[in-house]
Every structure is written in structure tokens, then in C-alpha cells.
Structure 1
Amino acid sequence: MFIITSSPHTHSGKLTARIMLWVIVAMLPAICLQIYYFGYGVLIQAVLAVAFALFLEFLVTLLRGKTKLFYLSDFSVVLTALILAVAIPPYAPFWIILIGTFCAVILGKHVYGGLGQNLFNPAMVGYVVLLVSFPLQMSTWMPPISLLSEPPTFSDAYRLIFFGVSTDGFSLHQLTRLIDGVTQATPLDSVKTGLKANLSLEQINASPLFTRSWFAGLGWFQINLAFLFGGIFLLWKKIIHWQIPAALLATLSLLALISWLLTDNTPSPLWQLFSGATMFCAFFIATDPVTASITPRGKLVFGALTGLLIYLIRFYGGYPDGVAFAILLANICVPFIDQYTRPRVSGYGRK
């Protein structure tokens, strides 16, 4: 008798741990640039997030009676923690990253049964909980440290995160208030707020936060460029597929171009592409293999839908970036998208 087994009968050789490690490697240049432009707070937040995420994974392993490395060996929780850590303000209080990591790992992942069964991107679940619950802390960004007369040292960063003041006793607000024209927000937030106040783009771009070009704010353009190169590396390694990032960026670019051509006082499409978390989302968040669409046409639909939602939130919503909400809303639509974009099985007609 023949032993009947389910397909597929071949293995691609891409182990989950190896995939996660390559994605982490692709993120490292952008993380290093974030540390360069925004200081050691990025590094401290990343260490806190990864350490607490590993602890939570180990705790869940014990509670569910699994072997010691059952959840830890695939490195997925490390990637989730890193994505969340680079998304929050570098000098947010330490309890912000702990709460976000708990929500990402427990509420975004393990309540559904663990990796492969979660419906929503875990890092974005944690980020949205923080954004809705603690808007002040989540909007208090340090301007690029090159604009500061006395950039915070590692000791300053540690004390700002854990105690709220630097080694000299200055709060984050006091460290930045002497910089003319700088508000503690991202360039996307500054533009959105400025346009609502009927300021022109020229007046907004007078701030030291901006590069006075079509691209983006100081530091943000370079970081987005690093995420773009990291994404191209992942495409070259065949870790991700091209459909989602291509559809997302094309949709956002097209809609931003239409707004730019038809509306006065609107940032250019290039500015939209290299501001905020655009490239980060396109290559590292939206391409999550668990929560994104899995069919070839479905990936195009999912990417286009995410790009559309980012555009709508940025231009008409209450949040300056909108990446996290766009991803979670698109995740809801994945079963519907996959249902209607399934490839036709060879030998069967269309119904």
C-alpha cells in the first residue's frame, strides 16, 4: 500500500528563524541611522523591547507546557519588538515600551494561538494601543540631535527614559524649547498642523526640522532611504514578494500626485514617500507573511488597499501618518481578499 501524504511534497528551505533573522539584518542600517539622528534612546528602547518580549515568550511557553525553545527559536518575537521599538518616540518613558510590547506579544499574537494564527500584525496592535491610550507620550519626539546645542549622552538618554530628566536635571521639553521653530513632533505632524493653521508650505519648511526640499524632514529622508535599500535586499533574497510594496507605494504615489496637482499647498509625492514610516511599512510591516494576503493578486489588492488607507488618513484623518491603522484595517480584509483572488486550480472551470 502507498502512504498518502498531503502536499506540498517539497520544502523551500526557508526556515522561519532564518527569514526573521534576514529581516532583522535588513532593518539594522535604518536602526543605526535612527540612533545617529535621534540619539541613544532608540538603542535603549530596542533593548528594553527585545528583553521584555523574550521574557513574555518564555512565560507563555511555561504556561502552555511547551518545550523551552518552542516559541523562542523562531526569532519572530525579536522582530516584533524591534518594529515596535523603532516606531515609538526614542525618549518615551520606559513603561510605554513595556505596555506596547505586552500588548503586541500577548494580545496581538498569543491570544490567537501564537505565530501563524494571529489575525493582526502584533507590532501594530501594540502601537495602536499606545497611540490611542497615551497620545502625549507617543507624539513627543526629540528633534534630530544635530539641532541641539548639547546632544544627550547615553547617560542622559537612560535617565530621560527611566526618570524623565537628564543628568543635568532637564526634562525633554526643556532640552528642546530653546530651538527656534522646533516642536516635539515629526515633520508629518508639523505639516498637518501647519496646514490646518493656514500656514504655507514655505512657512512650515522654515523650521530647522526640514531639509527645504521635496523629500522629507531632516533625518527622516535618510531613514526611509535605508528602509528602501533594506527592502530591496529582502526582495533580492526572496524573503518578501514585490507585489505588496509595489502596489502600496504606487497607490500612495498616484493619489498624492493627484492631490499635489489639483490642490495648492500640498506636499509633493516624493515628500509623502520619504516621510514618516512609508518605506518601513511597505517593506517590513505590510509584508508580514501571517497577516497579509497570500495569493498573488491578493497581495496587489492588499498593498493597494493599505496605500489608499494611508493616503486617506494622512490627508483627511486625525493622525499624521496612519500606517498602523491602515495595516490593521487591511488585515481585517485579508480573508475576503484571499477568498476572491484564489488562483484557479488546474483542471477546474470557473464558477
Structure 2
Amino acid sequence: MSAQINAAETLLSVSTAPYIKSEDTVSKIMWKVNLALAPAAIFGVIYFGVPALINIVVSIIAAVAAEYAVQKIRKVRITAFDGSAFLTGLLLAMCISPEMPPYMTAIGSVIAIVIAKHSMGGLGQNIFNPAHIGRAALMVSWPIAMTTWSVIKTPVDAVTSATPLGILKLQGYSELLETFGGQTELYKALFLGMRNGSIGETCTVLLILGGLFLVWKKIINWQIPVVMIATVGILTWIFGPEGFFTGDPVFHMMAGGLIIGAFFMATDMVTAPITKRGQIIFAIGAGMITSLIRLKGGYPEGVCYSILLMNCVTPLIDLVIKPRIYGTGR
């Protein structure tokens, strides 16, 4: 009898909740997201050259160093090498111009880590996406540097230093098609990444593959990226430049930072709502704000600000949209 009790004690362990265990850790999740971003980042380096590589390296080093320094000063456990700071630096670098002076990139990374992340308590307690806070700070501080693009050649050999969204905003849709040699060539350039833009936002196909990898690994849900991208497509089609239903939804869904923002920033598990219904509301709001800025604002792109504005609403969404308690009615 005593032997049976001892055997039962070794098999049964009573502890407090939660009881669900997972092999995933913060570090594993962060490095998987970094891996998903790697192909698009490598393409950006190949396409834009050494300046892009320098900015990516500087951004990552500055982010990791800033996190290490802050945690050392605060005398808390050092987690600077768990991949989260690396991810913030990589995301920031992928959302800026390859022509950005490296010292500005470093400042943006420090702002993202110190102000957006650790001033609020560190990982898991930040309200806003740190990389987008860093990008917004750089845009406010050095708008010319943030909108200075590489000089590239389009399929019709017309040298341009503007992004497709910039051409659309300043010159119109007809000039955009003429620059790229027609709608088919425009879509091809957007899909394959043969166009101007930030370091990591140009190659749509690689970003989508990276996002699908995260969905497959169950690191993110499909609702936010799909709904956000679809919202932008629908609204830009309905409220086109020449009246209702005259827009080009395919262009707007692939142009700018929508794909990288929808898959890798709006889905941030810290700053996005926790319920699926809440995530859908979040995504619709982000898509609506992005479309409003693109169609009616003076700035050609709106993904960064749309996600940051919806980050403000996330606590309210979580307060109103609560998951049903198991065993209870609706």
C-alpha cells in the first residue's frame, strides 16, 4: 500500500494554474519571426546594396546594445539576446529608406527600445509597437532623409527616385502606369520587389511567404493580416481617384508597407487584441486609417500611423470584447 502511494505521488503533481504547457518560449518565437523576415531582408540588401546592409546591421546592434544597457542599469534579468531586441532593430531597418544615414537609424533603434519598450516596463508591457515608434520618431525628426530613395530604373528604363505610392500621390495613376510600362509590369514589379521603397517592404512575395510561415507555426493568426489587407483593397477600390469603384485595389494591397505591416507589426502579440473578434476590429480600423491617409492625406503612406493609432485602442477593444468564460452562456 505504501509503495502504491509513493508511486502515485511521483505521477501526480498538484500546482496552481495555469496548467497548459508549451514548448514555445519568448526566445523561440522571436527567432522564428526573425527567420520569417530574413528572406525579404536579404533581398533588400541584394537589391539596394551596401547602404541597406549597413543600416540593417547598425539598427540591430543599436537595439540590442540599448536593451542590454537599460537592463543593466535597471538591474533586471538580461534578455537582450532573446531575439526581441534583434527583431525590433530588424523591423525598423526594413521600414526605412536604404539611403538613411546610419547614425539616424541607430537613434531610431534606441528610441524604439528605451522609450517605446522599456519606459513602459519592458517586453510584454509596451502599448505601442516599438519599431513603428522608432520609425515615426525618425519621420518627425528627419523627414527628408526618410523620404530620400535610391535611384533605380523601371522596366521602361525611366530613372526614378520615388516610390510607387509617391508617384501616385504627386503625379497620378496614369503617370504611374507610364513609369512602369503598364499595369501588368507594375504588378510584376510590386510582387517581385523590383521597385523603390524601404529596405524590406518591396518584395511582396517574400513577405507573404514569411507571413504564411508564421501562420503555419501558429505564431500569428491569419485574421489580422487578411482583414487589414482586404480592407485597404476594398476601400481604395471604392473610393478611387476618379469616383466610386475607380481605384486599383491590387496596387494598394501590394504597395508601400502594407504587407510587412499587416503580417509582422499589426500581429504583434503584445500590442494587438487578445480575442479573434477584437483582432478583426483592430484590423478593420488599421485598414480604414491606412486607406484614409493614402487617399485623402498629404502623406502617401499610412500603415505606420494606422497601426500606432489602433494600438491606442487595443486596451479598449480588450475591455469590451472579452472571451466567453468556459462553461457559461454568451
The TM-score, its normalising length taken from structure 1, stands at 0.81
Letter in 2 for 1:57: E
Q: What residue identity is the alignment partner of 1:93?
A: P
Q: How many Å separate the matches in 2 of 1:338 and 1:95? A: 38
- Distance in 1, matches of 2:273 and 2:256, equals 24
Q: Does 1:246 align with 2:226?
A: yes
Contact preservation (8 Å) 2:290, 2:301: yes
Q: Is the 8 A contact 2:108 2:135 kept in 1?
A: yes
Counterpart-to-counterpart distance in 2, 1:258 and 1:324: 22
Please name the residue that 1:291 is paired with: 271
Read off the aligned partner of 2:194 and give its amino acid letter: G
Structure 2 residue 194 is the aligned partner of structure 1 residue 219: yes
What is the distance in 2 between the residues matched to 1:110 and 1:280?
24
Deviation at 1:305, TM superposition (A): 1.0
Match of 1:10 in 2: 20
* Aligned position for 1:123: 131
2:113 matched to 1:88?
A: no
Tell me if 1:188 matches 2:196. no
- Shifted more, 241-250 versus 341-350: the winner is 341-350
Greater displacement, 261-270 / 94-103? 261-270
Do 2:99 and 2:149's aligned partners in 1 also have CA atoms closer than 8 Å?
yes
What residue number does 2:55 align with? 45
Hey, what does 1:229 align to over in structure 2?
209
Partner of 2:176: 204
Amino acid at match of 1:99: I
Aligned to 2:81, the other structure's residue is in SS state helix
Partner of 2:6: none
Mapped contact 2:168–2:175 kept (Cα < 8 A)? no
**Residue from 232, 251, 269 that aligns with 1:271:** 251
Q: Aligned equivalents of 2:15 and 2:276: distance in 1?
A: 26
Distance 1:209 1:110, change over 3 A: farther
Q: Which moved more, 1:273-282 or 1:262-271?
A: 262-271
Letter in 1 for 2:84: S
Partner of 1:167: none
8 Å contact 2:239–2:246 — kept in the other structure?
A: yes
Does residue 340 in structure 1 map to residue 320 in structure 2? Answer: yes
Structure 1 residue aligned with 2:121: 113
Which stretch of structure 1 is more off in the superposition, 212-221 or 32-41?
A: 212-221
Counterpart residue number, 2:198: none
Alignment deviations for residues 168-193 of structure 1 (CA, whole Å, 9 cap, x no partner): xxxxxxxxxxx8552x3211111111
Moved more, 325-334 or 221-230: 221-230
* 1:256–1:272 contact (8 Å) kept in structure 2: yes
> Is the aligned partner of 1:143 residue 2:151?
yes
Q: Contact 1:187–1:209 (CA<8 Å) still a contact in 2?
A: no
Structure 2 matches for 1:48-87, cutoff 5 A?
48-67=58-77, 70-87=78-95
The amino acid of 2:239's aligned partner reads S
Q: Does the residue aligned with 1:219 lie in a helix, a strand or coil?
A: coil
Indicate conservation of the 8 Å contact 1:259/1:266, yes or no.
yes
- Aligned position for 2:298: 318
Alpha-carbon distance in structure 2 between the residues aligned to 1:92 and 1:222? 16
Which 10-residue stretch deviates more, 33-42 or 129-138?
Answer: 33-42
AA paired with 1:302?
F
Q: Which amino acid aligns with 1:39?
A: G
Distance 1:262 1:341, change over 3 A: farther
Q: 1:214 to 1:207 in 2, by over 3 A?
A: closer
Code of the aligned partner of 1:50: I
Structure 1 unpaired stretches of 5+: 148-178, 196-200
Determine the C-alpha separation between the residues in 2 that align with 1:52 and 1:261. 42
Going from structure 1 to structure 2, the CA distance change for 1:320 and 1:19 (only over 3 Å counts) comes to same
- Structure 2 unaligned runs (5+)? 1-11, 196-200
Q: What is the distance in 2 between the residues matched to 1:292 and 1:210?
A: 38
Separation in 1, partners of 2:169, 2:176? 10
Rounded to whole Å, the distance in 1 between the matches of 2:29 and 2:307 is 21
Give the TM-score of the pair, scaled to structure 2: 0.86
Over aligned residues, Cα RMSD in angstroms?
A: 2.6
Q: Partner amino acid for 1:202?
A: S
Check 1:139–1:211 CA distance in 2 against 1; reply closer, same or farther (3 A cut): farther
Aligned residue identity for 1:315: L
Residue matched to 1:330: 310
Aligned length: 310
Please tell me whether the aligned partners of residues 206 and 212 of structure 1 are also in contact (alpha carbons under 8 angstroms): no
Q: Which stretch of structure 1 is more off in the superposition, 330-339 or 262-271?
A: 262-271
Question: What percentage of aligned pairs have identical amino acids?
Answer: 37
Find the residue that maps to 1:321 and give its secondary structure. Answer: coil
Tell me the equivalent position of 1:165: none
